């Protein structure tokens, strides 16, 4: 870990809130992008991001510098995504949030892949809707595997579950997606 | 090899690239022979092709900052309340001491000293900055400066400067006057001061925080040249009670004669003030410099009110400098003549 970051974290642990702002500035966009990939809509992504950093702040005294700080944040974020919507059951597709205008829409821009991009963006909404129909556990595991490219073993470690549990969620998610995307 | 249920899992793991090399090889052998697995794998690949692999939306820095601000507000409720209480409490204390000072028969700065001066500074900024009506603003100012408009930031800096003066742990490092040749009202002043780190404040002479820093500087700078510069700038500032009080304090307490002289000349712009007149009387009676005593006598002559006569009379008898005595006698005669003419 960089000395600068260690200093920042120690300052937060010592009660300096302004240092926490610096941490959020450093990891904000990475965390928000991951939050969006889990939440699939801007409002829920912002909520997830906010809850993540609040928990990071509240638990920062338990950070022992044994892993990269981002890994630690990532773990909190992922576990929130995994557990957060348990009560609600499933996330619903919601109206764009009040801050939707503060998000940038990316066009598919690689020319040689234009066809693929168009093809994929045609399914974008359908895929998002399908992902939102999964349970938060299924969705989180599937996203970690498919989009984040994590190994089942690592996902189990991040979410503190057995590999068997992760496999079960992953396979169910896959079957369900096939079903919802009409490729069963 | 015939397909069985166990191979469903192998297929999934194969698709997700989770098989070890030997297991992968073994499964590929099965795959070549199993129509079921081939069909399932192709379906998985179709599914895969539908899943977009890049996010369609990315957050702007503005969004991140906005949400970060919400988080900062959420995690920082308490510490600034204690700051508010501290300022409120000390204001009350200073306000009381100020009242005590003003209700004395003779306007006495001597006994009150620096505490009173600083107390007045804080009290005035507290009253005039509107902070007492807006504790929310102070909290947000102190906690999250970057959330502020330029105007709020400037308010924050001013309030902070004043708060730091109160803490007493302040050392002025530089005082810069921009475009000193410009007309007086356009004077811009920059005060650099150290607290724990450098801090700069910039504003016109009509800016209250600048005035407060100048007042602090005029009273507490160690370097006489800097006290002098502060006094000169204060004499160019729009007149107000606070500045007058500081100038009086300088006049009565500064150890440097030319600074006291500068302060006295500035004070004489405050024609009608009882406090200034009392200060001039004090100079006539107590100042160690004969030059200043003479100048003060002349200023009192200009004022010419009846109550200055006993002071000048006393000086004409008691002063230990012959020149001062003589001048006092002459002034006394002039004053009595003009009185009898009326
Ligand atoms: Zn098979």
B71–A46 CB contact, under 8 Å: no
**Span A86-106, pLDDT tens digits:** 444 444 555 566 777 788 877
For A79-83, A121-125, B7-11, B87-91, which range has the lowest pLDDT when averaged over its residues? B87-91
Q: What Rg, from alpha-carbon coordinates, does chain A have?
A: 18
pLDDT value of residue B80: 47
Beta bridge partners, B170, equal none
Smallest Cβ distance to B58: which of A104, A119, A167? A104
B16–A170 CB contact, under 8 Å: yes
| Burial class of residue B318 in the structure, from the number of CB atoms within 10 Å of its CB (0-12 exposed, 13-18 middle, 19+ buried) | exposed
Do B110 and B253 contact (CB within 8 A), yes or no? yes
C-alpha span between B257 and B254 (Å, rounded):
7
Q: What is the mean pLDDT of residues A124-152?
A: 89
Listed in sequence order, the DSSP H helices in chain B are 6-15, 21-33, 35-50, 61-75, 79-103, 113-128, 135-143, 150-167, 208-220, 224-236, 241-253, 257-267, 274-286, 290-303, 309-318, 322-341
Tokens coding A73: 């944040």
ipTM > 0.90, yes or no: no
C-alpha span between B55 and B270 (Å, rounded):
70
Do B267 and B286 contact (CB within 8 A), yes or no? no
Q: What is the DSSP code (8-state) at residue B282?
A: H
| Test mutation, B71, B77, B78, chain A, max A CBs within 10 A | B71
pLDDT value of residue B260: 94
C-alpha span between A91 and B42 (Å, rounded):
30
pLDDT value of residue B28: 95
Chain A within 8 Å of B310 (Cβ-Cβ)?
no
C-alpha span between B116 and A105 (Å, rounded):
60
Q: What is the mean pLDDT of residues B116-140?
A: 43
Do B209 and B158 contact (CB within 8 A), yes or no? yes
Task: Find tokens 């309030």 and name the residue.
Answer: B159
* Closest chain A CA to residue B72: A21
C-alpha span between A101 and A118 (Å, rounded):
23
Length of chain B: 342
Beta bridge partners, A105, equal B57
A104–B57 CB contact, under 8 Å: yes
Q: What is the mean pLDDT of residues B141-146?
A: 42
A36–B55 CB contact, under 8 Å: yes
Listed in sequence order, the DSSP H helices in B181-223 are 208-220
Residue B9: list chain A partners with CB under 8 A.
167, 171
Do A10 and A24 contact (CB within 8 A), yes or no? no
**Span B7-44, pLDDT tens digits:** 999 999 999 999 999 999 999 999 999 999 999 999 99
Query: For chain A, what is the HEC assignment?
Result: CCHHHHHHHHHHHCCCHHHHHHHHHHHHHHHHHHHHHHHCCHHHHHHHHHHHHHHHHHHHHHCCCCCCHHHHHHHHHHHHHHHCCCCCCCCCCCCCCCCHHHEEECCCCCHHHHHHHHHHHHHHHHHHHHHHCCCHHHHHHHHHHHCCCCCHHHHHHHHCCCHHHHHHHHHHHHHHHHHHCCCC
* Predicted confidence band of residue B195 (pLDDT cuts 50, 70, 90): very low
- Mark which residues 39-98 of B lie under 8 Å from A by CB: 43-44, 46-64, 66-68, 70-72, 74-76, 79
pTM to 2 decimal places: 0.50
Tokens coding A7: 């200093």
Beta bridge partners, B58, equal A104
B52–A127 CB contact, under 8 Å: yes
**Span A13-70, pLDDT tens digits:** 988 877 898 899 999 999 999 999 888 888 889 999 999 999 999 999 999 998 899 9
pLDDT value of residue B101: 43
Length of chain A: 184
Task: Find tokens 């801050």 and name the residue.
Answer: A99
Residue B181 has pLDDT above 80, yes or no: no
**Half-sphere exposure (Cβ direction) of B327: Cα atoms closer than 13 Å:** 19
**Triad B167, B170, B171: Cα angle to 5°:** 165
For A92-101, A132-141, B275-284, which range has the lowest pLDDT when averaged over its residues? A92-101
What domains does chain A contain, in order, with CATH numbers?
A: 1-92 (1.10.1740.10), 93-184 (1.10.10.10)
CA of B47 to the centre of ligand 1 (A): 19
Residue A134: list chain B partners with CB under 8 A.
none
CA of B45 to the centre of ligand 1 (A): 16
C-alpha span between B130 and B117 (Å, rounded):
20
Other CB atoms within a 10 A radius of the CB of residue B105 amount to 5
Q: What Rg, from alpha-carbon coordinates, does chain B have?
A: 37
Do B172 and B223 contact (CB within 8 A), yes or no? no
């Amino acid at each position: 870990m960089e000395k600068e970051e260690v200093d920042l974290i120690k300052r937060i642990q010592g009660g300096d809130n302004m240092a926490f702002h610096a941490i959020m500035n450093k990891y904000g966009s990475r965390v928000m992008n991951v939050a969006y990939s889990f939440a699939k809509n801007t409002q829920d992504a912002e909520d997830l991001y906010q809850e993540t950093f609040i928990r990071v702040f509240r638990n920062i005294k338990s950070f022992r510098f044994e892993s990269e700080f981002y890994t630690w944040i990532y773990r909190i974020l992922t576990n929130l995504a995994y557990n957060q919507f348990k009560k609600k059951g499933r996330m619903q597709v919601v109206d764009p949030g009040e801050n939707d205008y503060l998000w940038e829409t990316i066009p598919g821009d690689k020319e040689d892949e234009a066809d693929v991009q168009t093809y994929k963006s045609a399914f974008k909404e359908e895929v998002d809707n399908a992902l939102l129909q999964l349970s938060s556990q299924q969705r989180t595991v599937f996203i970690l595997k498919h989009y984040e490219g994590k190994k089942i073993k690592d996902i189990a470690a991040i979410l503190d579950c057995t590999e068997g549990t992760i496999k079960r969620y992953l396979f169910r998610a896959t079957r369900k997606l096939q079903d919802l995307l009409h490729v069963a | 090899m015939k397909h069985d249920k166990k191979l469903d899992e192998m297929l999934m793991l194969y698709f997700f690239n989770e098989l070890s090399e030997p297991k992968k090889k073994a499964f590929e052998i099965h795959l070549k022979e199993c129509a079921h697995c081939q069909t399932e794998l192709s379906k998985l690949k179709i599914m895969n092709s539908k899943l977009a692999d890049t996010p369609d939306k990315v957050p702007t820095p503005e969004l991140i900052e906005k949400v970060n601000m919400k988080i900062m507000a959420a995690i920082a409720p308490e510490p600034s309340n204690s700051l508010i209480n501290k300022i409120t409490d000390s204001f009350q204390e200073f306000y009381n001491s100020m009242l005590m000072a003003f209700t004395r028969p003779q306007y006495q700065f001597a006994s009150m000293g620096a505490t009173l001066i600083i107390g007045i500074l804080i009290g005035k900024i507290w009253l005039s900055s509107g902070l007492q009506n807006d504790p929310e603003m102070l909290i947000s100012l102190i906690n999250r400066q970057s959330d502020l408009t330029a105007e709020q930031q400037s308010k924050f800096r001013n309030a902070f400067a004043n708060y730091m003066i109160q803490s007493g742990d302040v050392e002025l490092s530089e005082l810069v006057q921009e475009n000193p040749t410009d007309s007086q009202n356009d004077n811009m002043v920059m005060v650099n001061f150290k607290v724990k780190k450098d801090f700069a404040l910039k504003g016109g002479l009509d800016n209250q925080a600048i005035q407060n820093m100048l007042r602090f500087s005029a009273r507490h700078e160690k370097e006489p040249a800097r006290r002098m510069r502060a006094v000169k700038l204060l004499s160019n500032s729009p007149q107000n009670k606070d500045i007058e009080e500081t100038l009086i304090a300088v006049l009565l307490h500064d150890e440097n004669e030319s600074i006291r002289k500068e302060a006295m000349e500035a004070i004489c712009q405050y024609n009608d003030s009882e406090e200034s007149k009392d200060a001039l009387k004090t100079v006539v009676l107590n100042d160690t410099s004969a030059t200043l005593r003479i100048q003060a006598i002349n200023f009192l002559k200009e004022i010419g009110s009846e109550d200055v006569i006993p002071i000048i009379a006393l000086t004409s008898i008691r002063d230990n400098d012959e020149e001062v005595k003589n001048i006092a006698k002459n002034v006394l005669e002039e004053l009595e003549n003009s009185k009898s003419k009326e």
